[in-house]
């Protein structure tokens, strides 16, 4: 393992974690519109409930409100899906290769950020498989979908991919803390997947 100053390790780790893929998800414009609408609806219903006709008026308001929200969600959702497809099909959209993700994993490992290291190693694995034409790397695609693609395209790599997916999902979505042992286990599973898939050019550190 290379000798790296503590300050440099912290700087690189902070730079990695500041990237968009590691930021918490923010509410979409549709989320904000719906939330504001529901807040206003709640206030209207409170006022309507204080009158003698509150029950009938309240029911009418709810019916109209639900219809309006459904129409807005349908139209906005179609626009969002079109934008996502356009972005995915844009040949200029940048795709990071496995070596870049492994460099991030190494920096995270040096900083003791095991959870981030596992995620970077998983992204490196997907990038390597995509580079070999074995899976299609699509933003937003789930780990289960990548596992299904490997199972269908490279059956002999299925068990190793199952093991790698389990480590990744436990680290990234589970509540238990991620440890250095998880990083080691993931590296081992990654090497097995790529070996079974006969993917060359795995770069340094994949099976370390």
Assess if residue 14 is contained within a domain: no
The structural domain count of the chain equals 2
Look at residue 132 in the predicted model and tell me its pLDDT: 93
Q: Which pLDDT band, with edges at 50, 70 and 90, does 126 fall under?
A: very high
Judge if 71 and 101 occupy the same domain: no
Which residue range is the domain that position 104 belongs to? 95-196
126, 189 Cβ separation under 8 angstroms? no
- Candidate ranges 8-17, 36-45, 169-178; pick with highest mean pLDDT: 169-178
Whether the model pTM is above 0.75: no
Q: Clarify whether residues 135 and 185 are in a common domain.
A: yes
Point out the domain boundary residue: 89, 106, 135.
Answer: 89
Q: How far apart (Å, rounded) are the C-alpha atoms in residues 168 and 162?
A: 10
Residue 202: pLDDT band with limits 50, 70, 90: very low
Residue whose token pair is 């460099």: 103
pLDDT in tens, 139-177: 889 999 999 999 999 999 999 999 999 999 999 998 889
Would 53 be classed as within a structural domain? Answer: yes
């Amino acid at each position: 393992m290379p000798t790296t100053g503590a300050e440099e390790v912290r700087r690189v780790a902070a730079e990695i974690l500041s990237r968009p893929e590691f930021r918490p998800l923010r509410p979409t414009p549709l989320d904000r519109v719906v939330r504001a609408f529901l807040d206003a609806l709640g206030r209207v219903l409170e006022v309507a409930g204080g009158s003698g006709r509150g029950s009938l008026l309240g029911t009418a308001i709810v019916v109209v409100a639900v219809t309006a929200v459904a129409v807005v969600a349908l139209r906005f959702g179609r626009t969002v899906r079109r934008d996502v497809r356009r972005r995915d099909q844009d040949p200029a959209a940048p795709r990071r290769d496995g070596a870049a993700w492994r460099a991030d994993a190494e920096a995270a490992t040096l900083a003791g950020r095991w959870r981030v290291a596992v995620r970077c190693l998983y992204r490196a694995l997907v990038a390597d498989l995509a580079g070999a034409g074995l899976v299609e790397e699509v933003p937003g695609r789930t780990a289960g979908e990548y596992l299904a693609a490997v199972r269908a395209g490279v059956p002999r790599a299925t068990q190793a991919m199952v093991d790698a997916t389990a480590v990744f999902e436990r680290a990234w979505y589970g509540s238990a803390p991620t440890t250095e042992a998880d990083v080691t286990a993931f590296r081992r599973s990654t090497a097995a997947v790529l070996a079974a898939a006969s993917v060359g050019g795995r770069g340094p550190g994949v099976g370390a």
